[in-house]
Structure 1
């Protein structure tokens, strides 16, 4: 168990005036079996004329706001207090064989199984999942327990792909990530999801935060943390379990969940429509601060 204070600052600076903008933010940590979110406060500058909260289709907390006065910058600061729980330690080999799952969930009457079906389907960033069948099939041999295979795939990506923020951007094709074996957490999560869906294994994209640590003997820099992404995999008998291919492990208490969807398009931290502004600069600072219990 661990308590955290999370501060997420996003600032856009524009070359020209923005007449008005409409925005949607996925920055509110969820309350799940993994964590409890006790408090979240958002500050927007300039102050919005209209703002509201709602739950989206996937159950995420969404903040909607509109700034209707001309402005040259937009700053959004979200502060949250979260308690995470230590993950349960269980035998991954007890999970259902991966090649049984598709028939099980389609023949089931359980809501959890039926809801998992949509996480097999293509999504905006993962539209050609069959291109990844060979990549996945090398790991998921006949009758392998699904969580054992997911752990092996997680470690394979971690050990064989290089984390390189300069190698990709939001529009880099997933095929390029597979070919060059470089990318960031978003790329590795999308790649793992494409591989799993090619085998008809339900899986979700999870966005959130990860507590990081500075090199030994050096202080942690303010704003040096970042948003993170990983993958949640479904087993009909056990439910969802989260794997982080960027770090080659199951998630643990230092992970904080903000939103869950089919891929990045469903959970982008901040997106919207603006009128005017010209070119812009973006600055993002994240602090994940562990507090004493």
Structure 2
């Protein structure tokens, strides 16, 4: 499937700001099953941009510097991405959770995609006894990794309410868990907390969902904005496998990976500082348009 993605973020400032410096993580990364064929970044008013190194996780980072007074800032990210990603199929001979945990602990891989980098608590995802206990019934050590991951995703989808008003961007997994509600970021971070508590490598994914579903299929939750889901490591053979607990599905052709990190703080689409007085308003629009059906190999 070939997608044209348009992601527009608009900031409106109550008073002109004197200076702004932002980190943009908007260009999809090169990842298994997807390839970026074209990319454009448009800034209004004109600002200085240059590549920057990702401090954590896997992301294409651009530093934006606005050093002339302005009362607004518009950031438009346009990408054309081809996605050809099969749906994972759990099998009786899949590695068990016990095997996965042992392999991850023994890993000497020091790259940003190393399973060892995603085993431990991170700034926004602390270990939580209640979350660990709630997830434990689906995470028996002898269970196959794919079967267990989807079982947990399905339970989160069933038992948590999608409610944009229940949480904020800085709501902790513990608070969202106690409310049994939230958005895709909350569900992903709750699932990650449970997987890590069981000794399994789990990463946070920021990306996009196809805006309009194929004929006869339901529209996916989270398709009007940036979406979040989970990568769980399945061992050397399976590698990283994506699971979407908001929709109870695998990461496949409807998902476009933008960045991967330990939690949201590593890979927020836009963060930075603004020097000025008064409030600001932000609006975001996302459209993921399929251009053609990918040709089967």
TM > 0.5: yes
Q: What is the CA distance between 1:281 and its match in structure 2?
A: 0.8
What SS does structure 1 have at the residue aligned with 2:230? strand
Between Structure 1 and Structure 2, how many residues are aligned?
286
Q: Which residue of 2 aligns with 1:230?
A: 229
8 Å Cα contact 1:105/1:114 also seen in 2: no
Once the two structures are superposed, residues 61-90 of structure 1 have per-residue CA deviations (whole angstroms, 9 ceiling, x without a partner) of 111110000010111001100000031543
Q: 1:39 to 1:215 in 2, by over 3 A?
A: closer
Once the two structures are superposed, residues 175-207 of structure 1 have per-residue CA deviations (whole angstroms, 9 ceiling, x without a partner) of 221122110000000000000001110010000
Q: 1:60 to 1:114 in 2, by over 3 A?
A: closer
Runs of 4+ in 1 over 6 A off after TM superposition: 111-114, 214-217
8 Å Cα contact 1:204/1:262 also seen in 2: yes
Q: Which residue of 2 aligns with 1:101?
A: 100
> Hey, what's the Cα distance between the residues in 2 that align with 1:110 and 1:125?
24
Q: What is the CA distance between 1:216 and its match in structure 2?
A: 8.9
Moved more, 140-149 or 111-120: 111-120
> Hey, what's the Cα distance between the residues in 1 that align with 2:213 and 2:256?
19
Give 5+ residue unaligned stretches, structure 1.
none
8 Å Cα contact 1:122/1:129 also seen in 2: no
TM-score, normalised via structure 2 length = 0.90
Once the two structures are superposed, residues 33-80 of structure 1 have per-residue CA deviations (whole angstroms, 9 ceiling, x without a partner) of 2211011100111111x3211342433111111000001011100110
What SS does structure 1 have at the residue aligned with 2:138? coil
Alignment of 1:147-226 (within 5 A): 147-213=146-212, 225-226=224-225
> Hey, what's the Cα distance between the residues in 2 that align with 1:6 and 1:198?
35
Instruction: Kindly indicate whether residue 281 of structure 2 is the aligned counterpart of residue 281 of structure 1.
Output: yes
> Hey, what's the Cα distance between the residues in 2 that align with 1:253 and 1:265?
26
Q: Which residue of 2 aligns with 1:77?
A: 76
CA RMSD of aligned residues (A): 2.3
Q: 1:130 to 1:113 in 2, by over 3 A?
A: farther
Moved more, 187-196 or 137-146: 137-146
1:53 paired residue among 44, 51, 56:
51
Q: Which residue of 2 aligns with 1:247?
A: 247
> Hey, what's the Cα distance between the residues in 2 that align with 1:162 and 1:195?
18
> Hey, what's the Cα distance between the residues in 1 that align with 2:210 and 2:112?
32
Instruction: Kindly indicate whether residue 265 of structure 2 is the aligned counterpart of residue 265 of structure 1.
Output: yes
Instruction: Kindly indicate whether residue 9 of structure 2 is the aligned counterpart of residue 31 of structure 1.
Output: no
Q: 1:72 to 1:114 in 2, by over 3 A?
A: closer
